[in-house]
Each structure stands twice: as structure tokens, then as C-alpha cells.
Chains A and B, each alone.
Chain A
Amino acid sequence: AQTVTQSQPEMSVQEAETVTLSCTYDTSESDYYLFWYKQPPSRQMILVIRQEAYKQQNATENRFSVNFQKAAKSFSLKISDSQLGDAAMYFCAYKGANFGNEKLTFGTGTRLTIIP
């Protein structure tokens, strides 16, 4: 079974600075997809960024980028120019590529605090 580990229960960063959230995963599959979701206090789950495992190029979405290291099974999220609205729980998630395994397996989350 796949597992996702987020070793940082809490992180904080000064506004406008850069922060990196860590995520590692374990799988025997060669093809899969990785996601970062954000959950602000409103409770809504919001997709931040996604990465296909077969792509070597790291995904970027505006101020958000990932460092995907397939051999190390690592998928960290970098947030640049942190803003107050970035304060939330961040969840790393894994999705298998085989039919019938189309579920997201989540890590335990990292609570990100932005210091004004």
C-alpha cells in the first residue's frame, strides 16, 4: 500500500519570505500522480499544484513550485513571496495510475503560519 509522510506538523514563515514543505511517499508503482492541497480555516480543500511522475520537469503554478525527486520519492512544495492568505493546512497526496486505485492517499498535513 502507498503511504505519504509529511514530517513537519507545523511551519511558520515571515510574510514575503520563502518556505518549503516536505513530503515523502512510498510506492511500488512506476506511474502515479502527486498533488498538494491546501485547506484554509474555511475547511475547503483547494488544489495547489500537481505533478505527473513520468515528467521530469518540476511543476510550477505562480508562486508555488515543487521539487520532485522520483528516485528519492520526495515531493516538496516551495512557496515564494509568502502571503497572509497562504496560511492553511497543506496536504501532500498520492494517486495511483491503475484503474481501481484512483484514490488520493494523503499525508498527515503541515500547518503553515504566516507571520506579518
Chain B
Amino acid sequence: DTAVSQTPKYLVTQMGNDKSIKCEQNLGHDTMYWYKQDSKKFLKIMFSYNNKELIINETVPNRFSPKSPDKAHLNLHINSLELGDSAVYFCASSLAGQNEKLFFGSGTQLSVL
């Protein structure tokens, strides 16, 4: 049983399209995250939700819109895709305690052509 699952694993699309990445966790965690890993492997936080409430929103273009229908799901919708959006997107979850580790999904490799 996968603890944090993302779909799809790979996504190839044209510039200007709109796409979504889904994330689900079955760990009972109350905090979920989206991270972006660029071509140089640098990982940066995009969003964090706690019990469906947005608590961290780094400087991300508003073409990116996270949605959390319940605390087990955090989806990422991207409008008007650009070449620079090509990256690996990781979903993660954790309990709310500060020393709690993050559990990561296996990532979604997005390629914008």
C-alpha cells in the first residue's frame, strides 16, 4: 500500500495547456505539501495545507492553484503551462508536529513542450 500516491507519474503536454496532478495519502496525516524539483535537482516548497487550510504559499505564480477537498487529498492544477514549469513535482505529507518527518510521493515528471 503506497503511503503517498501521486498521479500521473509522467505528464507531457504542450505550452498553454491546463493540467492537474493528484495526490492522496493514507497515513492519516493532517498536513500536505507540494514541492518542485528543478532540472538541477533543487527542491523548493510551493504550498502547504493543514486540515484543508492553506498555511504556506511561497512565491508561486497564480497559474498554480492547489485544492484540498479533504485532508487526505491535495491536488495541484496548473493553468497556461509554460516551458519553465517543466520539473518534477513532489507531494508530501506529515503529522503536524514540528519534528515529524515528511513522507514523499514518488513525484510527477512534467515536461512542457
Q: Which A residues lie at the B interface, using CB under 8 A? A: 31, 33, 35, 39, 42-45, 47, 50, 52, 89, 91, 95-98, 100, 102-106, 108-109
Contact, CB under 8 Å: B98 / A45? no
Contact, CB under 8 Å: A109 / B45? no
For B, the interface residue count at a CB cutoff of 8 angstroms equals: 26
Contact, CB under 8 Å: B48 / A45? no
Min CB–CB distance B51 → chain A (angstroms): 12
Contact, CB under 8 Å: A104 / B45? yes
Chain A-chain B contacts (Cβ-Cβ < 8 Å), number:
56
| Chain B residues within an 8 Å CB radius of A97 | 98
In the bound complex, how far is the Cα of B58 from the Cα of A106, in angstroms? Answer: 14
| Chain B residues within an 8 Å CB radius of A43 | 88, 106-107, 109
Contact, CB under 8 Å: B33 / A106? no
Contact of B90 among A45, A100, A102, A109 (CB under 8 A): A45
Q: Which B residues lie at the A interface, using CB under 8 A? A: 31, 33, 35, 40-45, 48, 50, 55-56, 88, 90, 92, 94, 96, 98-99, 101-102, 104, 106-107, 109
**Could you name 27 residue pairs across A and B whose Cβ atoms are closer than 8 Å?**
A42-B106, A43-B88, A43-B106, A43-B107, A43-B109, A44-B104, A44-B107, A45-B90, A47-B102, A89-B41, A91-B43, A95-B98, A96-B98, A98-B98, A102-B31, A102-B50, A102-B96, A102-B98, A103-B33, A103-B45, A104-B43, A104-B45, A104-B102, A106-B42, A108-B40, A108-B42, A109-B42
